[in-house]
Amino acid sequence: MKLKVSKESISGLNTEFINEETGRRIPLEQAVAQINKGNKNYDNYQVVNKTNGVTYIRSKADGIKKNNIEE
């Protein structure tokens, strides 16, 4: 699955994504939950928990820019 950012907060936090294969919108909370559950569709993504309490997702580093979450 390839995600693209569809919505972000004023601070720049990505809050909603679009699955580019299906067109389905996925809120940040749902993406985090699926990654944490180990859903294989989200294997290319990881959850980051910052010390200030902010949680976000990012692509797993592989050195290939096209695999990053697009804005």
Q: What is the mean pLDDT of the chain?
A: 91
Give me the pLDDT at residue 60, please: 87
Give the Cα-Cα-Cα angle 62, 64, 65 (nearest 5 degrees).
125
pLDDT digit string, tens, across residues 15-42: 999 999 999 999 999 999 999 999 999 9
Per-residue tokens: 18: 């679009």
Which percentage of the chain shows pLDDT scores above 90? 77
Note the pTM of the prediction, 2 decimals. Answer: 0.86
* pLDDT value at 62 more than 90: no
Which residues in the chain belong to E strands, given as ranges? 3-8, 14-19, 25-27, 45-49, 55-59
